[in-house]
Amino acid sequence: MIPSESNPRRERVHYELRSTGIKSETANPLRSGIHTRGYLPHVKREGASYFVTFRLVDSLPKEVLLKIQGERAEQMQRFYARQNVVEKAGAVRTKPEALEEIEREYFRKLETFLDKGGGGCFLERAAIADLVADALRFFADERYRLDAWVVMPNHVHAVLWPVPNQTLSGIVQSWKRFTAREANKLLNRTGGTFWQPEAFDHWIRNEVEHARCCGYVTDNPVKAGLCAAPGDWKWSSAWRGEAK
């Protein structure tokens, strides 16, 4: 297991946060900085937009997740082994983009499995998908700007910008808490865990990346074979019937 201080996202963003004005780690990390609630580091930059993914608790079997995490760990071990050789030779360190590519590959593997529709896929039920879609839109333009979103059978993607005095963590937890409670009512379940505790979030660095993330979100149903065009998927910001 690679120690936490060698996490690729953590090392890359420490540099980026410092270079963009965040110098003190004593600041509230839910607004600007790095925090964690478990395995994943969560990076926040006040005033930034984010790409966020949260999924159903049974959407990714533990053995699959461990396999994907193990593959990333092996990549990281090789990366840091190369870094040690480079540093001993007095050469220039590898650019942060190499760490970013490892993280992107990890996310792509997770997404590929999620798009296969693993688990109970409660979100493919229209009433529950409607519930989640309504929750995402409920405080839009009040607590956050919602630039793109989609409800898939076993996970949700959103691109959003929290307004001042709102945190991404608070927004996502509010979505999950409300929808879990109401979805369990629709499923006639009592106390059943609905969402995986941790969400995946990514700080969007620039407009090019923002456009790419929005395109990824709205194209996800097409990529997963659920519809022919983004506008055909009802539970998405791209749906042709969505009020503009």
**pLDDT tens-digit readout, 142-195:** 999 999 999 999 999 999 999 999 999 999 999 999 999 999 999 999 878 999
The pLDDT value given to residue 100: 74
Residues 54 and 165 reside in one and the same domain: yes
pLDDT at 221: 97
Residue 101 domain flag: yes
CB 89 within 8 A of CB 79: no
The answer to whether residues 240 and 186 belong to one domain is yes
14 is a domain residue:
no
Is 29 in a helix, a strand, or coil? coil
* Share of residues in the chain with pLDDT > 70 (%): 75
pLDDT score, position 122: 98
In Å, the largest CA–CA distance within the chain is 63
Residue 149 and residue 228 in one domain:
yes
Q: What pLDDT does residue 26 have?
A: 45
Q: Do 85 and 132 lie in a common domain? A: no
Q: Say whether both 127 and 237 belong to one domain.
A: yes
Per-residue pLDDT at 38: 41
Tell me, yes or no, whether 192 and 157 share the same domain.
yes
Residue type, 97: E
CB 43 within 8 A of CB 203: yes
Q: Indicate if 85 and 189 belong to the same structural domain.
A: no
- Containing structural domain, residue 93: 62-111
Residue 225 lies in a domain: yes
pLDDT at 244: 46
140 and 180 together in one domain: yes
Average pLDDT in the chain: 81
Residue at 177 is within a domain: yes
99 and 188 both lie in a single domain? no
Percent of the chain with pLDDT over 90: 53
pLDDT of 99:
73
pLDDT recorded at residue 88: 67
What distances in angstroms separate CA 219 from CA 20, 54, 115, one per listed residue?
31, 17, 12
Spans of the chain, pLDDT less than 50: 1-26, 28-44, 243-244
Please tell me the distance from the alpha carbon of residue 151 to that of residue 160, in angstroms, as a whole number: 15
pLDDT recorded at residue 17 = 42
CATH code of the domain in which 176 resides: 3.30.70.1290
C-alpha 89/C-alpha 114 separation (Å) is 42
pLDDT for the residue numbered 90: 62
Q: Mark whether 187 and 229 lie in a shared domain.
A: yes
Same domain? For 224 and 135 the reply is yes
Residues 125, 72, single domain; the answer is no
229 domain residue, yes or no: yes
Question: Which pLDDT does position 116 carry in this prediction?
Answer: 92
